[in-house]
Each structure stands twice: as C-alpha cells, then as structure tokens.
C-alpha cells in the first residue's frame, strides 16, 4: 500500500484532477488514516484524443488506500464534478454526500451503470455536519449556474481546509432562490482558515460576474421579439437557464417540447425539487410539435456545445427524426463554448444559418453569463476566508498564477501560495506548508462505458497516425514447407493513397513484399509468421517513406499453410 511521505502530525491536500486544466475535478484532504474526497468529475476530450469518450483520473492511490476514504463530498452536479463517479465506484465503494439536485443527477448516472443498489447516497445541505474520528466536514451555500451548490470546509487537527467548488457571488438569483451565505463564509474566516483552495476559471477576467437575473431579463426581451418557433439550446444541468426560458415561453403561451435525454432528466429533477414550474398542460410530447402554430412552440434541446450526436446537431444536419429547420425558426444558444469546443460550435452555427434559421448566441446578445466568478468575486472570497495558505484550483496554469496575485493583493503573502499540479501533495501544520510528495494522478482515457474500457497513449498514437497517414495492408498466402508464395502479395490502401491513381506505387509495394518474403526464405533456417511480418513491415515502411514522405500504419496479413511440418 502506497503511503504519503509526510509527518504523522501533518494534514495533506492533493488533487487527483482539476489542476492545470478545466475539468476532472477531484480533491483530497488526508490526515493519518482518514481521507475526505471532494468531487469526482470527468474531462471531455480534445479533438486529438480520437475515439475517446471521457478522460478520467488515475485513481490508483485512492484504490490502494480505499479503506481510509470516509466520504466523497460533492460541491454540485456538473459533469466535471460528478461525471467520474460511475467509474470510481466500480473500484471504490465509499459513501457519497451531496445536495439534493446533484444527488438526483447522480442517481440517474448510477442507475444507468447498475450501481445504484450498492451505492451509499446521502443528502446534505449547508447546515449539515459530517463527523469522523479525526476530521469533520461542514458546508456553506454558494451560487453557480446550477442549484444546490456547496462549498466544503474540512476541519482537521491542524486547521480548516476550504474548497469553494465552482462559484460566483450572485446576489439576485432567479426565482427567489437563496443567495450565497456570506455570513457563514465570514464566520469560517473569523475562526481561521488554514488553506483555501478556490475556483480559478475566470481569474483572467477583471470583473464581477453578472447575475442570472440579468440574463433572465434579456431572454424575455429576446423571446418577445421572436415571432416563429424557438429552439433553445443550453447545458441540460443549467436549470436556472431552463427556468428562465420556460417562464418566458409560458408568458407567451408557447407549448414546450423537450429533446435530449440529459435535458429530459434535468427538467424532471428540476420539476420534482421545485426549481422549475412548468404546468403539465404546457409540456407536450415530441410528436406533437407540428400540431401547434410555430409561434406557440418552444423546443428545449441539448447540443449547445456542438456535440455530434446531440439533438441540435442532428437538427442542423437534417438527420433528426422529428424536427427540421423551417423558415422563421430561431435557434437560441444560451451558453458559450467551453475550451476545445469553439470550432465545433461555430460549425454548428454555420449549418443552422445555411438551413435557414436565425441564430442568436453568446454574450453579444446578453443571453449568457458565466457561472464562475471573475477577479472581484475571487477577491471577495479571499477577503471573507482570510486564509493563511492558498492554493488556486480548477484552472489552467496561467489562471492559477493570476489567482495567486489576487491572493497577494488581499493579504496572503506570495510565498504562502502554492501553484500545484495534479498529484502534488501539500503537507500542512498550523504553522507550516510544504510540497512533500507526489502521488499518481495521470489521465485515463475511456473508450466505452466502463473503467475497463480504457485505452493508453500507444493506442491514441496509433489512432492519430491512422487519421493522419492512413493504413496499408499487405496480404499473402505462404507455404512454409516448400518456401513458396501461394497467393499474392496484394496491397490494399485505405486513407493513404487512392489506389486507382497510384498504380505504380502499388506495383512497387507488391514487388517489395514479394522479395521481402523470398529473402526471408533464403536467409533464415527457421521461419515463422512473426519473422515474415517483421520483414514485410520494415521493407514496406522504407519504400513508402522514400516514395511519399509519409509513414502509414502497415498491417501484414500473412496466411501460413504447411507451417507445422
């Protein structure tokens, strides 16, 4: 079992994911034989990770030390904070503590993976206290772009470690929902915060992030001037935005149809918990949308990030079974592209424009605001918490660096701030802090549904090579006993060269494989399939690179007869 290289009286803070990146959040506080895990998210892959569905954390340290895990506490229900739970719980079964909305989303995820029956799920709010033998956990209410967001305070023998979760200070939340609990944050600060770990996503923005009420006003104005059908795309989990859109539609007498499984689940959870108030007679089935005039229909759908299989992409491509773009349609994007999605979102907007829809999107039309606080929000959090030590989290390196300078401006000495990487272990006492160790915290690429469906860097490199250079297959039937080529060789190219226009190259490749096999017969006393394949790949690689300057993946397919004699 891997043990941390820290002193017995030191408390450790480390991230398995979430540092130097946007997503994959997973933070741990450990004192002796107790570990509190905060969040367990996923990272959506960049385009170069071909075929990868999710990027999750390397949990190996936590798996080895799973008997020490006392709780998994969840700050909120976004994918980059809860999306990894179905994978993690396949290896570690620890109790989960979460606010009601996130808990509803977690139940749905675990049910899909057949993990719900064995999961230990517990609902908490900002008044809850979790007590363990050596540590305890309390919560404080924050505001974000999703309901029931909580900051986490882990109380240890050496002092309190605070993880803010994703936050902004929204003083006028929509629907009369509660605002951030400034009093509780200030109380934590007055009692003493040893380490603050705070959301750095918007550290580059010198602003106070606008309230959802501001977006609500502009969505109503946008809806009032649209005469035709509205297709509204947003993050399914942004229930506040769904509330604003549905309220505006109901004022106009529009019926509401919902497309996309995650959107359906979020609306069902929002209705159940009281965050949405859509009367039953305003919700219509998907096949009923053509029964109403266009000016009386709102379609709420997934796909605001350009996901190829989401409802909006299929509508734009003309492949959706029930919806096609009609003259007079207006598509409203109430979100901004997350890092890595800008190109796909722009392509989607272009397709919708080409199909004849009017498209309204982004900050330009005042129909989106971030759920993350800008520099003023971050400074306010630092002022309230008054930490002795500071570690910026959930952000790329440049964001973390800016955040440390904000901390310095609010009274935290620069030497007391730590820009950490995933796996770095910060060991703390009441009077000291040092980087003491590093645990495994790499990326695991999930290509499928389960944690066992992972692929490594070699497979990713091969996929990238296939996508860039193509593949060449060399086919032959060989009689090993008589040292004869019975059939072939034949060359097949896919994604490398167009065979009908490259006959000379294909003929040269056939010739090269023919002589590669004959020379293997001549120069080796013992011949097997592996030796033949190795020679074919080596000689064909040299020829093709010399002729084209490219290195396709070469797959020899040699069938052996009379090989055992």
- DSSP assignment of 214-272, as one string? HHHHHHHHHHHH--S-EEEE--TT-HHHHHHHHHHHHHTT-EEEEESHHHHHHHHHHHH
Q: Is 371 annotated as a binding residue?
A: yes
Active site residue 431: no
Residue 453's pLDDT is 46
Catalytic residue, from 126, 199, 216, 377: name it.
199
Per DSSP, the three-state class of 367 is coil
Q: Check the annotation: does 274 bind a ligand.
A: no
- Confidence class for position 424, pLDDT limits 50, 70, 90: very high
Return the pLDDT at 450.
Answer: 52
> Known binder of ligand: residue 369?
yes
Q: Which has the closest alpha carbon to 116: 81, 154, 89, 77?
A: 89
Strand extents, DSSP E, 5-135:
11-17, 26-31, 34-38, 54-57, 69-73, 96-98, 121-123, 129-131
Q: Tell me if residue 372 is catalytic.
A: yes
Give backbone dihedrals phi and psi of 115, rounded to 5 degrees, phi first. -110, -5
Q: Confidence class of residue 387 from pLDDT cuts 50, 70 and 90?
A: very high
- Which of 329 and 457 is assigned the larger pLDDT? 329
- The verdict on whether residue 144 carries a ligand-binding annotation is no
- Of the chain, the percentage scoring pLDDT greater than 90 comes to 53
Q: Is 218 annotated as a binding residue?
A: no
Say if residues 168 and 372 touch (Cβ distance below 8 Å). Answer: yes
In terms of Cβ atoms closer than 10 Å to its own Cβ (0-12, 13-18, 19+), residue 304 is buried
Largest CA distance in the chain: 88
Beta bridge partners of 557: 475
Tens of pLDDT along 119-153? 999 999 999 999 999 999 999 999 999 999 999 99
**Omega prior to 471 cis, within 30 of 0:** no
Cα(163)–Cα(13) distance, integer angstroms: 10
pLDDT band at residue 520 under the 50/70/90 scheme: confident
Write out pLDDT tens, residues 50-67.
455 667 788 899 999 999
> Is 50 exceeded by the pLDDT of residue 455?
no
Asked which of 7-16, 326-335, 403-412 is least confident by mean pLDDT, the reply is 326-335
pTM of the model: 0.79
Q: Is residue 80 within 8 Å of residue 42, measured between CB atoms?
A: yes
Q: Which domains does the chain have, with CATH numbers?
A: 11-207+370-450 (3.60.15.10), 212-362 (3.40.50.10710), 470-560 (3.10.20.580)
Going edge to edge, which strands form the sheet with 471-479?
A: 484-494, 471-479, 553-561
Of 155, 361, 372, 403, the catalytic one is 372
Residue 461 parent element (H or E) = helix 457-469
Q: Are 244 and 286 in contact (CB under 8 A)?
A: no
* CA–CA dist 392, 407 (Å, integer): 9
- List of residues 6+ apart from 94 with CB closer than 8 A: 37, 66, 69, 70, 71, 72, 120
């Amino acid at each position: 079992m891997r043990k941390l290289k820290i002193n017995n009286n030191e408390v450790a803070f480390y991230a398995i994911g979430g540092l130097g990146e946007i997503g994959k959040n997973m933070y741990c506080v450990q004192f002796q034989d107790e570990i509190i895990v905060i969040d367990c998210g996923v990272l959506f892959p960049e385009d170069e990770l071909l075929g990868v569905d999710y990027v999750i954390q390397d949990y190996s340290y936590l798996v080895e030390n799973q008997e020490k895990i006392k709780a998994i506490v969840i700050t909120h229900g976004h994918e980059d904070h809860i999306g990894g739970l179905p994978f993690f719980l396949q290896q570690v079964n620890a109790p989960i503590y979460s606010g009601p909305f996130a808990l509803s989303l977690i139940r749905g995820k675990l049910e899909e993976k057949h993990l719900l029956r064995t999961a230990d799920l517990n609902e908490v709010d900002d008044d809850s206290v979790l007590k363990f033998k050596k540590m305890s956990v309390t919560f404080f209410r924050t505001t974000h772009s999703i309901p029931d967001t909580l900051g986490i305070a882990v109380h240890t023998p050496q002092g309190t470690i605070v993880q803010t979760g994703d936050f902004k200070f929204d003083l006028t939340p929509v629907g009369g929902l509660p605002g951030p609990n400034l009093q509780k944050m200030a109380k934590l600060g007055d009692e003493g915060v040893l380490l603050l770990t705070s959301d750095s996503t918007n550290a580059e923005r010198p602003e106070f992030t606008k309230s959802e009420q501001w977006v609500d006003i502009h969505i109503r104005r946008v809806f009032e001037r649209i005469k035709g059908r509205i297709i509204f795309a947003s993050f399914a989990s942004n229930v506040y935005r769904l509330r604003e859109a549905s309220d505006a539609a109901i004022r106009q007498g529009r019926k509401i149809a919902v497309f996309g499984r995650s959107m359906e689940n979020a609306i069902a959870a929002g209705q159940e918990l009281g965050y949405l108030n859509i009367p039953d007679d305003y919700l219509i089935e998907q096949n009923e949308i053509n029964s109403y005039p266009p000016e009386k229909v709102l379609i709420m759908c997934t796909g605001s990030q350009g996901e190829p299989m989401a409802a909006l992409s299929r509508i734009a491509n003309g492949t959706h079974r029930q919806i096609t773009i009609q003259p007079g349609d207006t598509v409203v994007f109430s979100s901004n592209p997350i890092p890595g999605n800008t190109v796909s979102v722009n392509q989607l907007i272009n397709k919708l424009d080409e199909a004849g829809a009017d498209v309204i999107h982004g900050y330009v039309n005042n129909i989106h605001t971030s759920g993350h606080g800008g520099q003023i929000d971050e400074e306010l959090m630092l002022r309230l918490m008054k930490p002795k030590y500071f570690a910026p989290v959930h952000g790329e390196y440049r964001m973390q660096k800016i955040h440390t300078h904000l901390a310095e401006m609010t009274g935290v000495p620069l030497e007391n701030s730590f820009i950490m990487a995933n796996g770095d272990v910060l060991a703390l006492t009441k009077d000291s802090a040092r980087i003491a160790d590093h645990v495994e915290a790499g990326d695991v690429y999930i290509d499928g549904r389960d944690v066992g469906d992972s692929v490594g860097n070699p497979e990713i490199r091969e996929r990238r090579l296939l996508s860039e250079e193509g593949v060449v297959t060399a086919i032959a039937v060989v009689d090993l006993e008589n040292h004869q080529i019975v059939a072939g060789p034949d060359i097949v190219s896919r994604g490398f060269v167009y065979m009908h226009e490259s006959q000379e190259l294909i003929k040269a490749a056939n010739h090269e494989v023919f002589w590669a096999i004959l020379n293997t017969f001549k120069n080796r006393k013992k011949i097997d399939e592996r030796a033949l394949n190795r020679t074919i790949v080596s000689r064909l690689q040299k020829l093709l690179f010399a002729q084209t300057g490219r290195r396709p993946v070469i797959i020899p397919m040699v069938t052996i007869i009379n090989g055992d004699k």
